[in-house]
Amino acid sequence: MAAIGVHLGCTSACVAVYKDGRADVVANDAGDRVTPAVVAYTENEEVVGLAAKQSRIRNISNTVMKVKQILGRSSDDPQAQKYITESKCLVIEKNGKLRYEVDTGEETKFVNPEDVARLIFSKMKETAHSVLGSDANDVVITVPFDFGEKQKNALGEAARAAGFNVLRLIHEPSAALLAYGIGQDYPTGKSNILVFKLGGTSLSVSVMEVNSGIYRVLSTNTDDNIGGTHFTETLAQYLASEFQRAFKHDVRGNARAMMKLMNSADIAKHSLSTLGSANCFLDSLYEGQDFDCNVSRARFELLCSPLFNKCIEAIRGLLEQSGFTADDINKVVLCGGSSRIPRLQQLIKDLFPSVELLNSIPPDEVIPIGAAIEAGILIGKENLLVEDSLKIECSAKDILVKGVDESGANSFTVLFPSGTPLPARRQHTLQAPGSISSVCLELYESEGKNSAKEEDKFAQVVLQDLDKKENGLRDILAVLTMKRDGSLHVTCTDQETGKCEAITIEVAS
């Protein structure tokens, strides 16, 4: 069974398929693994993808871009208003709904944003069918974490209209985690993951908790003022000033010249991620003047350093907001095309010196691959209906055991971490010196970090009359089972003698 994962971003869309146990991104008919999410309306057809993006120089008023920003929003939404003022394609309100006004020669059409999204989804479906055959329609679609109910519905409807069978809508950061398979192999233990997504128009940073293989978003932060286009714009402005220096012409006021510069800057930006310098060459940019300019990576980094700082500030702010330090983060996942920028990766690495930076998958493909993996998990399953605000019981506090380390000082070990989905059972093999005849497990509950105060002790389990061993250690197996209401059952067994003690601790009502 094959399934599809689709990520529709503001600037580009990407599709991955799950087939034979692995997920892979599919290249579109132009051979690109990422398709620009641009739709152009011409006299007799609707063009999606690269062709639409390239033709926007001549057809700007009939080219719809960044449709995701307006999808499912109403005209009184400040974000939609911002979009309407920025959009080059006229957006009007008709019958209380927002419509694009598209002039295609003889008549003026009013296009629904959902229809635009549908065209992009259709394109993605075609792309997926090029490797799967036309009967695979099951899809998982990703949405940003801050998408509202209406926006989700609009996106789902658009996908359904394109002929997809939508299995589920999942959040982008979760898809990113799933793409790297975090917490999927060994479903015990707990870790905190930072997801850094720098897309075309927005930056979103989230801290996720993975516990028992289940993901939770702890906090998230979205900034709509940093994105790939802002980097391109900065570079294009630089190129314009270079042109002005050389030819004494200011091209900033000329929309078509700026559009050409943007395209050129985009290409240069991409090559600067791998090369030390990039060349911009534009024939007859302005009044027949050709333009040729070399941009070095260092120059680019210098130009964009305010933007980089903003990104790093966003991460710092999020850590502060969620009460974490850099050491509490176990992994960092990079996604979104702009997180390819080497300088940015370096800065993040500097911020988290001891943390693994996951960037082995191309960052703009992470999310669709995660979606495809989820689709592969869901396919063939019945009753996929999951209530939207899915809440499950989790343990509230860490359960710790007190022991002594080599130096003889007291120390604590977490046996049952907080936030574990209940019911759950955790099994630990603890060790005690063989020279003693009784072992005492002192159990503490705490919200803190690997330490507890004396009054947090809630129970102790004592195993007595054990056989003494001259040297070596004895293994004590401790099994903790917590029920959905939070009551805890603890069983301790001495592995050698089989002596066993069990207690059940209820929750104070």
Partner 1 sequence: MLLLPSAADGQGTAISHALTSASTLCQVEPVGRWFEAFVKRRNRNASASFQELEDKKELSEESEDEELQLEEFPMLKTLDPKDWKNQDHYAVLGLGHVRYKATQRQIKAAHKAMVLKHHPDKRKAAGEPIKEGDNDYFTCITKAYEMLSDPVKRRAFNSVDPTFDNSVPSKSEAKDNFFEVFSPVFERNSRWSNKKSVPKLGDMNSSFEDVDAFYSFWYNFDSWREFSYLDEEEKEKAECRDERRWIEKQNRATRAQRKKEEMNRIRTLVDNAYSCDPRIKKFKEEEKAKKEAEKKAKAEAKRKEQEAKEKQRQAELEAARLAKEKEEEEVRQQALLAKKEKDIQKKAIKKERQKLRNSCKAWNHFSDNEAERVKMMEEVEKLCDRLELASLQCLNETLTSSTKEVGKAALEKQIEEINEQIRKEKEEAEARMRQASKNAEKSTGGSGNGSKNWSEDDLQLLIKAVNLFPAGTNSRWEVIANYMNIHSSSGVKRTAKDVIGKAKSLQKLDPHQKDDINKKAFDKFKKEHGVVPQADNATPSERFEGPCTDFTPWTTEEQKLLEQALKTYPVNTPERWEKIAEAVPGRTKKDCMKRYKELVEMVKAKKAAQEQVLNASRAKK
**Residues in region 191-210 near partner 1 by CB under 8 A:** 208
DSSP string, 127-194: HHHHHH-TT--EEEEEE-TT--HHHHHHHHHHHHHTT-EEEEEEEHHHHHHHHTTTTTSS--SEEEEE
| Helix/strand/coil for 118 | helix
43 is an interface residue for partner 1 by CB under 8 A:
no
4 is an interface residue for partner 1 by CB under 8 A:
no
Give whichever of 307 and 480 is closer to partner 1, judged by the CB atom.
480
Closest to 501 measured CA to CA, from 509, 488, 489: 489
**Residue 96 is encoded by which pair of tokens?**
């209380």
CB 461 to partner 1: min, Å: 5
In angstroms, how far apart are the furthest CA atoms of the chain?
A: 98
506 is an interface residue for partner 1 by CB under 8 A:
yes
411 is an interface residue for partner 1 by CB under 8 A:
yes
Question: Which position among 279, 296, 413, 427 is part of the footprint of partner 1 (CB under 8 A)?
Answer: 413
Calpha distance 385→495 (Å, rounded): 45
Give whichever of 145 and 247 is closer to partner 1, judged by the CB atom.
145
503 is an interface residue for partner 1 by CB under 8 A:
yes
| Helix/strand/coil for 28 | coil
Give whichever of 36 and 183 is closer to partner 1, judged by the CB atom.
183
Give whichever of 81 and 487 is closer to partner 1, judged by the CB atom.
487
Bond before 113 cis per omega within 30 degrees: no
Q: Which of residues 147-186 bind partner 1 (CB under 8 A)?
A: 168, 170-171, 174-175, 177-178, 183-184
Q: How many CB atoms lie within 10 A of CB 307?
A: 20
Question: Which position among 421, 451, 489, 491 is part of the footprint of partner 1 (CB under 8 A)?
Answer: 421
CB 210 to partner 1: min, Å: 9
Q: Which amino acid is at 453?
A: K
CB 412 to partner 1: min, Å: 8
CB 28 to partner 1: min, Å: 26
Q: Is the CA virtual torsion 332, 333, 336, 341 positive or negative? A: positive
Q: Which of residues 459-478 bind partner 1 (CB under 8 A)?
A: 459-464, 473, 476
Question: Which position among 244, 393, 493, 499 is part of the footprint of partner 1 (CB under 8 A)?
Answer: 393
CB 83 to partner 1: min, Å: 28
Q: How many residues are given for the chain?
A: 509
Q: Which residue has the tokens 């971490």?
A: 417
Q: Which stretch binds partner 1 (CB under 8 A): 8-16, 20-28, 255-263, 433-441?
A: 433-441
Q: How many CB atoms lie within 10 A of CB 276?
A: 9
Q: Which stretch binds partner 1 (CB under 8 A): 54-62, 66-74, 320-328, 416-424?
A: 416-424
**Residue 138 is encoded by which pair of tokens?**
């099951």
When computed from its CA atoms, the radius of gyration of the chain, rounded to whole angstroms, is: 28
Site map for partner 1, 206-245, x if CB under 8 A?
Answer: --x---xxxxxx----------------------------
Site map for partner 1, 350-389, x if CB under 8 A?
Answer: --------------------x---x--xx--x-x--x--x
CB 27 to partner 1: min, Å: 26
Give whichever of 305 and 464 is closer to partner 1, judged by the CB atom.
464
Per-residue buried b or exposed e for 393-419, using 16+ beta carbons within 10 Å of the residue's own CB: ebbebbbbbbeeeeeeeeebebbbbbb
146 is an interface residue for partner 1 by CB under 8 A:
no
Give whichever of 346 and 431 is closer to partner 1, judged by the CB atom.
431
The residue count for binding partner 1 (CB under 8 A) is 82
Q: Which stretch binds partner 1 (CB under 8 A): 28-36, 43-51, 121-129, 497-505?
A: 497-505
Calpha distance 154→116 (Å, rounded): 11
Calpha distance 361→367 (Å, rounded): 10
C-beta of residue 368 within 8 angstroms of C-beta of residue 392: no
331 is an interface residue for partner 1 by CB under 8 A:
no
Question: Which position among 402, 417, 452, 480 is part of the footprint of partner 1 (CB under 8 A)?
Answer: 402
Give whichever of 248 and 381 is closer to partner 1, judged by the CB atom.
381
Burial classification of residue 284, based on how many CB atoms lie within 10 Å of its CB (0-12 exposed, 13-18 middle, 19 or more buried): exposed
Per-residue buried b or exposed e for 66-88, using 16+ beta carbons within 10 Å of the residue's own CB: bbbbbbbbeeebeebeebbeebe
189 is an interface residue for partner 1 by CB under 8 A:
no
Give whichever of 105 and 323 is closer to partner 1, judged by the CB atom.
323
Helices (H), 48-112: 50-54, 78-86
Closest to 398 measured CA to CA, from 477, 323, 453: 453
CB 132 to partner 1: min, Å: 22
Give whichever of 60 and 459 is closer to partner 1, judged by the CB atom.
459
Give whichever of 106 and 465 is closer to partner 1, judged by the CB atom.
465
**Residue 505 is encoded by which pair of tokens?**
């601790």
